[in-house]
Chain A
Amino acid sequence: MTNAIEVRAVEKKFGNVHIIRDLNLTIGQGERHAIIGPNGAGKSTTFNLISGHITPTSGEIDLNGQRISGLRPFEINRRGLSRSFQVTNVFAKMTVWENIRCAVLWATGHRYAFWKNVDSLPEVRQRTAEILEDIHLTHRRDVPAGLLTYAEQRELEIGITIAGGASVIMLDEPTAGMSNTETDRAVALIRRLTEGRTLVIVEHDMSVVFGLADRISVLVYGNIIASGTPEEIRGNPKVKEAYLGEEDH
């Protein structure tokens, strides 16, 4: 079985600055994989490279055995990879319902159709209603997304990410800025919604990471210094030194 994501010898330079050097990462099908590392280690850049937000200077990235490095973000999305953003990135003036519906439209095959009434597409309506139910925002469906509370916007962000039915879901710090109760709620939500899919997550909250992940990769200065099960990572002296030892994390 091919791996969900395979990153081989990827390098990213901005001018003369190496942000990522020789990045190698393998994520198996159905795995819940967390990427951790200190601030500025290149976690978000890694996300941006895989999702096509930025293109690698060199190296290769495969999604389910297909080459995706060099493709544009929407081409990668259509091949079954969907990501969320660290800073909430929704359609602020559109309602919650419309936000989710937009994320459903491509996957249900309606593409750029200008000859269909969007309100009378039963499968779109049903799927949108299901996703809203899943993210507990049904009661807020007619509210413009920009007026939601922060935690609700984060949930909507996850909803938009999973709505297209991608096989690989990448979440960039989904619980950042949340209270403990909100975090617990969000973790339960993520666990339930990514059932049967591959999950890649960047997270600072170690209780979330160790509670959710099957495997963990540790990124330091654009390099994966260790990759393994939560137990292996906990016991790894290099990781302790580079990352877990720092009190502020």
Chain B
Amino acid sequence: MQLTPDEEAALSGRHGDIMQMAYRILVATGEATGAERLVPVEWVHLSGVNYNTIGDAGEAFLRSIRDRAKVRVRTTLNPMGFDIDSVGSYDLGEGFIQKQRSIQESYAMMGVETTFSCVPYDILQLPRPGSQVALAESNAAIHANSLDGLHTNKESAFSALASALTGKSPYGPLRQDMPPDMAVEMAVSDPTELEWGMLGYFAGRVCEGHAGICGAVQPDTRGCKAICGGMGTSGMCGRFSFGEAPPGRERVEFGPAEAAGIRDELNTAEKGDLIILGSPQLSFGEIRDLVAMLGGRRFAKKCMVFCPRTVKERAAAAGYLDILERANCTLLADCCACLTPLVSAETTDSVTTNSIKGAYYLGRSNGVGVCLKPLNRIIREETV
């Protein structure tokens, strides 16, 4: 990758150790994406916030740079570990809360907006289409490239941090408007959001760049979010579009056999002790739909619903918070189901969810069993 004289100077340490670290990260990012130069970015979204994921080493790292590191562009933030409104109901311990607060303070001191959301596309005014951005949350990066007309690498937590500190990012292939690398044919009929999530998970495994999804029309926003979540979980793919790939490109089918294979891998329980919705976090529209779908019925077991803070506030103002509480739902803001410390294998055997991303991390990292069902079936079978 070619650097300007000023960028070379920063890499050699002449602008301090923070900038040197940032440029080292950008150079590694440039090598990994095959980029030839850095380009300015207009918005950065950071991951690496939940103390449950970054741990003591991550907390100490952020604390060690916060006095000297300042973001140069608008920078927003992924979810943290808990909702402060209800943290007392969970057995997290004072140590966890303190470390999480330190992480929050570190980001705030660097000038980051503490949005604590993995669905920035649902709650923020986005830069105009065509803009270069750098989003570390995998589902949000895929959403930006595929549905919002923005351009981002499939950033890592550190490449996005380096972009926030420098305002720049390597001009990798996903930043250029390239046609699909391969076609993935949707051959499951009448897919729910669960099958769309599986298709995303499948495409993320077989495709490394841009997947063209053919054989189906674009689903509603819940289906699209499910594709983003599934795709971000399984592999390196950073974009999808609906339509054919150019002639000569590889074509693979996602049919009932492929869906069954993913179900065998991720569905590990017959039923769940509790229900988890919101991986990625739910938008206000999805909360409104949930209220409508419930139609006055209540869940027979506890249902955890993850959403951004602004969505929880809007839901409260609209009266949905009370309705959902009566329906046995707990709305949790600022956190999400992915690597949540609020679900532990010590107290929970298994969960029911409609999210492929949630199923993957709840199973692998939280160590609980997972029962996968689409939302309409969860409501039909689990309410009274």
Q: Do A and B come from one complex?
A: no
